[in-house]
Structure formats: C-alpha cells, structure tokens
A and B are shown apart, each in its own frame.
Chain A
Amino acid sequence: MVTLEHTIKNKLGIHARPAGFLAKFAKEHENCTIFCREANSSKEYDVKNVLSVMGAQFKCGDDVIFKIDSKEKISEDLIRKLRELLEKHF
C-alpha cells in the first residue's frame, strides 16, 4: 500500500473532468485499486467511480489522501504517473 497526500489547487475542487481523468487512470491500472479520502475523514472513495468522487465534494484547499492498494508490488512508475496527474488536474 502506498499513500500520497495532495492539496487540491483546482478552484472548482474535484469536479467532473478531473474525476473523469482519475477514473480513466484507475481503469488503465487494473492490478491495483486507488482510493481517496479527505485527510481528516475516514470515508474512502474508489476513484473508478466518477459520480461518487464528485459526490464527495472535495474543495479547493482540501487535503486529500490517495491510497494505492495492490497485491503486487506497486511500481515507482505508477506512483510517479499518479502524482503527475494530480499536479496537472487537481
């Protein structure tokens, strides 16, 4: 398990489009599951689900924890790509 912490910089929060990018990313990496949750909450969302991630209403300035779960070893490459995605759209 690997966790990444990210502060939302997108002024609209995680709205439809970023949520969509994230879901696409998760579907492309089937051997792992990616969850996200607000830093001080325990409610987790599977990022494959655009509608529930949008429903979580993450706002600009929120600290969000992204967790990658996998039975296999999680590659550095995957982590780097996820981080890039977050920097770009979130």
Chain B
Amino acid sequence: MKVLKGIGISDGIAFGKLRAYRKDFFSIHSMRIFKEDSESEISKFKHAKELALKQLDVLYNHALKDVGEEHAMIFDVHKMMIEDIDYSNSIMNIIRDEKANAEYAIWLTSRNFEKKFESMESEYMQQRAADVRDISRRLINCMNNYVQTDVSSEKKEIIIGCDDLSPSELLELNRNYVKGFITILGSRNSHTSILAKSMNMPAIISLGDQLKPDFEGCNVIIDSFAGAVYVSPDRSTIRRLKRKKEMYDKQQELLSSFKGKDDVTLDGQKITLCANVSNILDIEAVRDCDASGIGLFRSEFIYMGKRSYPTEEEQFKIYKTAAEKMSPEHVTIRTLDVGADKQISYFDIPKEPNPSMGYRGIRVCLDRPNIFKTQLRAILRASAFGNIRILIPMISLLDEIIRSKNIIEECKKELKEEGLKYDEDIQIGIMIETPAAVMISDVLAKEVDFFSIGTNDLVQYSLAVDRQNDKINFMFNPQHMAILRMIKLVCENAHKEGISVGICGEIASDDKMTEIFLSLGVDELSMSSPFVLGIRRKVRGVNVSAIKDEILSKL
C-alpha cells in the first residue's frame, strides 16, 4: 500500500480502480520523434482536428442542456481556438521544419501560446492559457484515440488520475461510474475545484510527483477529509475507510433528516439559518442544504477574474437568476467589497502600505459612483424577480449610509423614468465590521433595515490582529470577550429600533457559539452551505431560557 498526500476537494470518500484520463500532457515534450514522413503527421493532425471539432459540437449541445449556456460557452470558444490559423500553421511548420511528430508539434505550439497569454496583464487573458492547454490536449487525445473516450464508456467504478483536469473535462465525465479524481496539479480555488464541489465529487489535487503512471489499474481509495489517496490499500485500511464512509454517509443522512424542519429552539425561539455564496453555482448547494435564504452574496467575485468591469446587463442576469432560484427566500447582495485582500487589476488601486485600513469597500464605491451605480441598477432591476436585499460593506460613518441611500434613490428614479421594474421597498442593510460602527450602532440602526456583523474584519480591527499574518494567527480569536460584548451591544441597539441582526463571518458555523448567539438574540446566521444542517440540528436541541442568564452574566 502507498499513501499519497494532497489537497482534499469536496467532502467524501470514494473507492475505485485508478484509470489514467489521458496521456500525460506534461511528458509529451520528451516524446519527440524524428519523422521522415511529415505529410502523414500533418494529415494525422488534420484528422484529429476534425474529430476534436465534432466532439466539441456534441459537448456544447450536451452542456447546454446540463449546465446552461454560461458554462457551455467554453466549448464554443474552444472550437474557434482550434480553428485559429496561426495555431494550426505553427503546428504544421514544426512538423515540416523540425521533422517532429504531431504530438510534439502540438505540445510546443501550446507552450508558446500559453506563455504569451500567461505574460499578459489582465487576469481574463491569463486564464486563456488554460484554454489553449485544454484544446491542445484534446487534439493529442483525438490523435491517440486515448482513454478519454474509453472513460465515458467504462462500466465499473473508477477514479480518474491525471496531471490536471479542466472544467470542460470534468463536465464530460460519466458520473455513474467516475467516483472521484486525483491530479498532479490544481489549486483549491480553481474553477475545476469549485465545480467538483458543486457536483459533490471528491478529489485529491496537487499530488505532485507522488502520482506515478504505474498506479494505473490499481485499486485506490480517496479520502478528501484527510487529503489522502491510498493506492492498493491493505485490508485494514479498506475496512477503516469503509467504516469512515459509512459513518459519513450516515451523518449526511441524519443531517438530511433535518431538511424541511424549522430553525427553532426547544423553547420556541426562532433564528434564520442562511448560506453564503460567491457565485451562481453555489446556489444549488444552498437549495440542497435547505437554507432559509442567502445571507451573504459576495458580489466582488463577479468582478474578479475579469478583464474589465462587468456590465449592468451581465450583473442583472446573475442577480436575477439568484433571486429567481431562491424565491421566496431572500438573497442578500453585498455590494462590491474590493480592496484589502481582494485586489482587482483593472480597478488600478495603487499599492497601499496598509490596504485593510485603506481604500476599500464602500470607500471605493462612493469615490467612483459610476461603478457603484452600475451595480445598484443591476441589483434593483433584479429585485423585481424575487426577494433581494442590499448590504453595504465597510461602514464606519453615518454619512456613508446617507450618501449610499441617496445614490440608491437616484438609481430608483432613473429606472422609474426608463419604465424598468424594481422592488420599491427593497431592504437596505449594512455590514457591522468596524469597531466604530459597533459603537454608533444605535445611530446607524435608525437609518437601515438590518445589520449583518462581519466577524472576520471586526476581529481583525478590534483585536489589532492582521488576518494575513501567520506569526500572530493564534491571536485571531472571534470568541474574545471584546467581540462577544460588541455583538451584544449591536443586538441591543438593533432590537431597540426593531431591526434584525445577522452574523456572516466564519464564526456563524461554529456550533460551540450557537448557544451564545441564541442567548444574545441574533436573528440570522449565514455560513457556508455544508454547515447549515449541522447548525440546525444544534439549534433544535437548545433550550435558550435555561442557559441564557448564565451566558449573559459572563459577558
């Protein structure tokens, strides 16, 4: 038995035979062969190109039905890239001039184009390097009639092994038989990892050279909790992981039994459990875990990974989809929170000595009202299609709320004049994440419809502990008495004005904190989807009246 360690993606344990997905693209460069017959290599390439275009047609239509146009589009773009004349010419020239085999010519051409895109400034263009690699692989696979086609016809449970898997390849897999995948490369936040999570497919990525070609055909077990791959596992390992899988499945089942139940304590106190999302894909998971709405839609992810500002229309479509999918539950859209640890190149925000206390969040939006208005118009228009709330980040002054509300009113007026529909009574709330906002929460509460406490930043600012600094990471403590007292104060001030308070930092998913939050009278907790049912189970077992006095006396 061999144990490989990597990064686990999406919870689960999977068993199967390891199958190589395709010839390892990264080893092609060492496969250079001198061919006397250039023309036959060229016709091999042309044949592969035709086959690849046909495949992409089929995939486009398939994906269109399966995941919608937004994700299907990738196959259309790939077709255009394969048809690119410079790309084809480069491949044919290398075959002719260097007397190389077609695989090598494709590999070298791909490297050249990838390098060009990688060196570009805009993130959008940098990502195109991955597309070039994707089409080049497809061509090589077509040429070799390699396992890629085999994999989808496989009739037993398998685990895919490869150097890296692209989103398009992941979508192609036959999920009845493919139980998971393991890769040499990959990162936790890649599009592939996000997709794998939303497909509930366990994976171990970033294994490096631990993953060897001779593992092909071996029995493997992947355990994404431990980030481990067991190759040819021994009996006791199989037994242990089978038990672990059973326990996990049972726990999932138990948690599923909490679906459809109310978020209410033994003594009848209600709390709303919501989910945090960063994109439309996450919404499936929100529906799955039966959350009562979206407490935090991080809209900055719409702006990230792009070449320039997303248009009103583009944003409108995203917010509208979210509102429709979640209706009648609410979708709380946090307006653009750029800056600090979330820098976006086309915003051209100059380097700052102290970005977390710098030009970020609402400060950017009020300084660049056109960007803010584009987003607000999109949110307002989408509010006609469901239950949307606006959440403004990084508030530290009353004036910031007044100005934001004036801009929202301006947008409403414009939309009215243009005859476009929106929710007249849309709720406006603010993030409480600066100590200043906590201290004047009595004043702020008079101006807004709800509060949402962002514990991550509040802890950083209150305890003077930089979230990104490993040396003092141990001091980053959301359960610090100072933080709990702040939450208490915010709840009291909010409830005096009859508005609700939510918590949307990491701490919301910590079940050791649930009793404290219930005692303080927090109205809403918003967390990553996988935690919702666990917290619901916790809530339903608490008797608040029995513990409340003791907990409050300690604060």
Q: Taking beta carbons and an 8 Å cutoff, which residues of A are in contact with B? A: 11-13, 15-17, 19-20, 23-24, 27, 46, 48-52, 54-55, 57, 59-60
Contact = CB atoms under 8 A, between A and B. Distances in A.
A17 B85 contact: no
A16 B85 contact: no
Contacts of A59: 307-308
Contacts of B86: 49, 51-52
B311 interface: yes
B128 interface: yes
SS class, residues of chain A in contact with chain B: helix
B308 A60 contact: yes
A23 B88 CA distance: 14
Interface of B: 73, 76-77, 79-81, 83-87, 113, 116-117, 120, 122, 124-125, 128, 131-132, 306-311, 314
B81 A12 contact: no
Nearest to A21: B80
A3 to B, nearest CB: 22
5 contacts: A11-B314, A12-B124, A16-B81, A50-B83, A55-B125
Contacts of A51: 81, 84, 86-87, 113, 132
B128 A50 contact: no
Contacts of B117: 55
A48 B84 CA distance: 7
Contacts of A54: 125, 128
B76 A48 contact: no
A12 B307 contact: yes
A57 B125 contact: yes
B73 A48 contact: no
A10 B198 CA distance: 31
Contacts of A60: 308
Contacts of A19: 80
A49 B113 CA distance: 12
A49 B85 contact: yes
B268 to A, nearest CB: 51
Nearest to B78: A16
A13 B307 contact: yes
A20 B77 contact: yes
A23 B310 contact: no
* CB-CB nearest 10 A-B residue pairs: A20-B80, A49-B86, A16-B77, A51-B84, A50-B84, A48-B85, A11-B311, A50-B80, A49-B85, A52-B86
Contact of A13 (B132, B308, B310): B308
Given A17-B73, A54-B128, 9 more contacts: A11-B308, A12-B306, A13-B307, A16-B80, A20-B79, A20-B80, A23-B80, A49-B87, A51-B81
Contacts of A16: 77, 80-81, 128, 131
Nearest to A53: B84
Given A15-B124, A20-B76, A50 B310 contact: no
A11 to B, nearest CB: 5
B122 A57 contact: yes
A70 B261 CA distance: 71
Quick one: which of A15, A23, A60 has the most chain B CB within 10 A?
Answer: A15
A43 B243 CA distance: 65
B116 A55 contact: yes
A40 to B, nearest CB: 19
A49 B87 CA distance: 8
Contacts of A17: 73, 76-77, 80
A55 B129 CA distance: 11
A23 B308 CA distance: 23
Contacts of B84: 23, 48-52
Given A17-B73, A51-B86, A24 B307 contact: no
Contacts of B116: 55
B116 to A, nearest CB: 6
A22 to B, nearest CB: 10
A18 B84 CA distance: 14
A23 B113 CA distance: 18
Contacts of B306: 12
A15 B80 contact: no
A17 B496 CA distance: 54
B309 A11 contact: yes
A23 B87 CA distance: 13
A55 B306 CA distance: 15
A61 B544 CA distance: 60
Given A11-B308, A15-B307, A59-B308, A24 B120 contact: no
B81 to A, nearest CB: 6
Contacts of B131: 16
Contacts of A48: 84-85
Contacts of A55: 116-117, 120, 125
Nearest to A51: B84
B199 to A, nearest CB: 25
A82 B116 CA distance: 29
